[in-house]
Amino acid sequence: MLKIYLARHGQNLDNQNGILNGHRDEPLTEKGVIQAHEIANKINEANLIFDAVYSSPLSRAYQTAKIISGTINASVLQKEELLIERDFGVMTGKKVSEIEIMCAPNIIKTDHTTYFLNPDGAETFPDLLKRAELLLEKINNKHASGNVLLVCHGDIGKMIYSKYYNLKWETVLTQFHFGNCDLLLLSEDSPAEESHVFNLN
């Protein structure tokens, strides 16, 4: 059986400053580095061993993946383009506080996040689901069993979870908060509602 562990990157400068990341490539903050070490230590303490670690090519995810890999002595760390965050289109670099002003009524609000659905130039959540499907097919073709860690981002991470468990994307957006350096487990013997392994927030 293949078990896929899904980690979100640590806090980066855009997260700290309330700026929408998308494909922007700001580095981790000091807090983000601490978060990455915290999740790495938790993984180590749980004696989790990964056959491979895949990371989004964006620095906030790759920095996080390098810290985790170094802590747990993972031998294989690869960049995977399919793990890159959603393209935010015209919302890239905008303030989080501007989402409702610029995108309402095409938004979904939760306690933690306001999701915009279809601003100009942005990938939609159905677009992300298609990318998540390609990713899962690729990982399953490479790994028939064992443990694999994917280090990614909030929106694409939720859609990977959505596709794996065949849940509606609208439901998944409101179902839980996927915080910085949270860790999810996607597995045949792990029900969707029990997927959170570690939650740092």
Token reading at 45: 């303490």
**Active site residue: 80, 85, 123, 153, which one?**
85
| pLDDT for the residue 198 | 65
CB 5 within 8 A of CB 48: yes
- Is position 73 annotated in a ligand binding site? no
* Per-residue pLDDT tens digits of the chain, which is 201 residues long: 999 999 999 999 999 999 999 999 999 999 999 999 999 999 999 999 999 999 999 999 999 999 999 999 887 899 999 999 999 999 999 999 999 999 999 999 999 999 999 999 999 999 999 999 999 999 999 999 999 999 999 999 999 999 999 999 999 999 999 999 999 999 998 888 877 776 655
Residue 87's Cβ-count burial label (10 Å; 0-12, 13-18, 19+) is middle
**Active site residue: 9, 80, 123, 153, which one?**
9
User: To which residue do tokens 């999701």 refer?
Assistant: 115
CB 178 within 8 A of CB 157: yes
- Is position 15 annotated in a ligand binding site? yes
CB 34 within 8 A of CB 111: no
Token reading at 26: 């700001």
CB 150 within 8 A of CB 3: no
Whole-angstrom distance, CA of residue 98 vs CA of residue 47: 42
CB 91 within 8 A of CB 116: yes
- In the chain, the domains with their CATH numbers are 2-188 (3.40.50.1240)
- Is position 9 annotated in a ligand binding site? yes
Omega cis (within 30) before 105: yes
Q: Give catalytic status of residue 112 as yes or no.
A: no
- Is position 131 annotated in a ligand binding site? no
Token reading at 132: 């998540």
Q: Give catalytic status of residue 30 as yes or no.
A: no
- Is position 24 annotated in a ligand binding site? no
